[in-house]
Amino acid sequence: MTTSTISAGSIPRSGNLAQGAIELRQVSKSYGDVTAVDQLDLTVEPGEFVTLLGPSGSGKTTTMMMVAGFEDHTAGSVLIDGKPVDTLPPRDRNLGVVFQNYALFPHMSALENVEFALRMRKVPKAERRQRAADALERVGLGRMGDRKPRQLSGGQQQRVALARALVFNPAALLLDEPMAALDKRLREQMQEEIKTLQKSLGISVLFVTHDQDEAMAMSDRIVVMRDGKIVQSGPPEDVYNHPLTDWVASFLGDTNLIPCTIIERDGEQAVVDMEGLGRARVRDRGATGESYAVSIRPEHLKFSTEPAAGNGYPATVVSSTNLGATVRHRLRAGGHDLQLRELSSDGAGRLPEEEVRVGWDADRAQLLVLES
Ligand SMILES: Nc1ncnc2c1ncn2[C@@H]1O[C@H](COP(=O)(O)OP(=O)(O)OP(=O)(O)O)[C@@H](O)[C@H]1O
Ligand SMILES: [Mg+2]
């Protein structure tokens, strides 16, 4: 377990708990004929941690820049705590920002960098010093205030940037890939620390990453973006287990896709006919399109122990590979290549050509729309 070096300390929070709501209403941004963000509707509730997740060029940074006020939008409106901020300059929006390439001033010390945010907001000098020092303390850099950015490690610079974003007690934090420059270990440590800090301050966060593990680990809600639009949004487990399309399913990890036709839909569930495998009852989100598939994550596919139970399909083992903590089995079933993953400790060795049966809990199979 990592000990957190960041703590909430005694930051004065304003009495109004319902603070830090961010709302985008039909916000669009075009650069010439490129539509970077396309009629986006997005809400971050006070205290909520929302992550924009999407491939490169999907409009994540553009969205953040418009909320922060560094970019004007072409249409729509941005509201903070219910008030339109479309004409307010960035420093009057009361948002702390840490952007990937929003660097520290190299000629200023860590302390001066943090103080700068207060200077911009016309806080008196004596108070500035103390608050900046407190903010550095909070991110575990209390003794490094005199250092210039080049005398700090990547992770320490990231913390100074975080202190600078927090020092004026903003209503919300905007973090755009704040840990992209860090190695894996530091990154995981910072993830936990940011999460701890966010919870103890009760501050809302709009976060950007294209790392799905980071999104899963940190978010209350994940908003998946593609081509400037939201394609799905919900709690991490929900988006992971119940993707609406094959694109979302594949973007958020590995999955088995079995093309199917729909026999019957009744709200939460559907009866489908899977190509080569036959009937199954699966979860249904009601998404509609031209063609459909059943999606089952490799860790949800199981070897059926009771062939007589009806829950199961005949399959042939192609290969089994021990990956350390897990074993990956490649199977053929009904003309499909399937992947089944189990914990090494749960798995028995399987031989190539071995005849098996595979199945899943009805809850784990999701009907989705094939779009790619
Ligand atoms: N100043 C600009 N002028 C022209 N096009 C731009 C500009 N900024 C962004 N774009 C375009 O807008 C789209 C969205 O860019 P954006 O930076 O928001 O993507 P992103 O999701 O943050 O990607 P990444 O994961 O690579 O950071 C891209 O097609 C990009 O080329
Ligand atoms: Mg970006």
Q: In what order do the strands lie in the sheet with 22-31?
A: 34-44, 22-31, 75-80, 83-84
* Atom 10 of ligand 1: nearest residue by CA position: 36
Place of tokens 């489908």: 272
| β-pair type (366-370, 278-284) | parallel
Closest to 27 (Cα-Cα) out of 5, 8, 42: 42
Contact (CB, 8 A) for 304 and 358: yes
Q: What span, in angstroms and rounded, lies between the C-alpha atoms of 134 and 11?
A: 9
Q: What pLDDT does 6 receive?
A: 55
Contact (CB, 8 A) for 245 and 287: yes
Protein residues near ligand 2, an ion, with CB under 5 A = 61
Q: Hey, what domains does the chain have and what are their CATH numbers?
A: 22-239 (3.40.50.300), 242-370 (2.40.50.140)
Per-residue pLDDT of the chain (372 residues; tens, 9 = 90+): 344 455 544 444 444 445 899 999 999 999 999 999 999 999 999 999 999 999 999 999 999 999 999 999 999 999 999 999 999 999 899 999 998 766 899 999 999 999 999 998 899 998 999 999 999 998 889 999 999 999 998 888 988 999 999 999 899 999 999 887 777 888 888 888 889 888 888 899 999 998 888 999 999 999 999 999 999 999 999 999 999 999 999 999 999 999 999 999 988 999 999 999 999 999 999 999 999 999 999 999 999 866 555 568 999 999 999 998 999 999 999 999 999 999 988 777 788 999 999 999 888 999 999 997
Ligand 1 atom at shortest distance from the alpha carbon of 61: 22
**56: number of CA atoms within 13 Å, CB side?**
0
Pocket of ligand 1 (CB under 6 A): 31, 34, 36, 54, 56-62, 210
| β-pair type (291-296, 278-284) | unpaired
- Pocket test residue of 62, 65, 175 for ligand 1, highest count of atoms within 8 A of CB: 62
How far away, in angstroms, is 61 Cα from ligand 1 center? 7
Place of tokens 């249409």: 75
